[in-house]
């Protein structure tokens, strides 16, 4: 796609996921804040737009990996990828990260009171994420698959499934915004996950895990908000 000032950040990354590296480098949100234009994002961050455009152009000159061409994937395949990759990551790591966050708050909270709030915010993320993932896996994704299967078979779209998709998309997108805000709050409290000198290895591991969680969430929400949800809305 041709990138302009009015192109949204999410749109740019959806067209070529390699560009995500540029936005990550400059701290520009391409998932939950993906609908913001390139010009507005640069203004908000105080970055020269020409620098971003040059870096984006440089990325385009590199070979494209077929495995990252998510926009070309069929919706059922993309939904399965999200479940098997990102939902699996969350299910395997959320509880452990929450336990670590509570542990370091108990040990280091006296000198680093921000840890109490970090642990509290992450605990709410875990609580909210459980029904969120269930909604996607048991309601939205199956409805999308039924409609896609019906298209192949030449069947009429089920009104019930279309309504399920509409209601789910509305609900899930709002939840993405809330989870995105929570993760940004944690990063701010953790000062970009900079590790103080007076802490133990568990503290270091916790901050590393929190940053890993944020990185995975960015890609996860991008695939849903900027690709899967947009295509599902067109059904």
pLDDT in tens, 124-165: 999 999 999 999 999 999 999 999 998 877 777 788 999 999
User: How does pLDDT run across 168-211, given as a tens digit for each residue?
Assistant: 999 999 999 999 999 999 999 999 999 988 889 999 999 999 99
Give the whole-angstrom CA distance, residue 194 versus residue 234: 42
Among the listed residues 227, 226, 228, the one whose alpha carbon sits nearest the alpha carbon of residue 10: 226
Provide the β-strand partners of residue 37: 8
Decide if 181 contacts 203 (C-beta within 8 A): no
Alpha helices in the chain (DSSP H): 9-15, 20-25, 38-45, 49-60, 75-81, 88-108, 114-135, 141-153, 159-189, 201-222, 229-233
Query: What pLDDT score does 63 carry?
Result: 67
Grouping H, G, I as helix, E, B as strand and the rest as coil, residue 28 is coil
Helix, strand, coil % in the chain, rounded to nearest 5 = 75, 0, 25
Report pLDDT digits (tens) over 10-69: 888 888 888 888 888 888 888 877 688 999 999 988 999 999 999 988 887 776 666 678
């Amino acid at each position: 796609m041709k990138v302009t000032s009015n192109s949204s950040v999410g749109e740019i990354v959806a067209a070529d996921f390699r560009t995500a590296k540029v936005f990550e480098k400059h701290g520009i949100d391409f998932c939950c804040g993906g609908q913001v234009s390139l010009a507005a994002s640069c203004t908000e961050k105080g970055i020269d737009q020409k620098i971003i455009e040059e870096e984006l152009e440089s990325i385009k000159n590199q070979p494209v990996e077929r495995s990252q061409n998510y926009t070309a994937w069929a919706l059922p395949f993309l939904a399965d990828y999200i479940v098997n990759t990102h939902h699996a990551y969350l299910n395997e790591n959320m509880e452990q990260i929450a336990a670590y966050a509570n542990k370091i708050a108990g040990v280091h909270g006296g000198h680093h009171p921000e840890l109490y709030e970090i642990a509290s915010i992450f605990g709410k993320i875990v609580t909210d994420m459980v029904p969120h993932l269930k909604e996607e896996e048991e309601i939205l994704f199956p409805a999308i698959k039924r409609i896609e299967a019906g298209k192949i078979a030449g069947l009429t779209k089920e009104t019930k499934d279309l309504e399920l998709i509409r209601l789910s998309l509305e609900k899930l997108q709002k939840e993405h915004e809330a989870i995105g805000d929570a993760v940004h709050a944690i990063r701010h409290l953790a000062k970009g996950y900079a590790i103080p000198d007076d802490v133990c290895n568990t503290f270091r591991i916790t901050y590393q895990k929190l940053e890993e969680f944020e990185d995975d969430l960015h890609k996860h929400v991008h695939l849903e908000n900027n690709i899967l949800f947009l295509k599902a809305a067109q059904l």
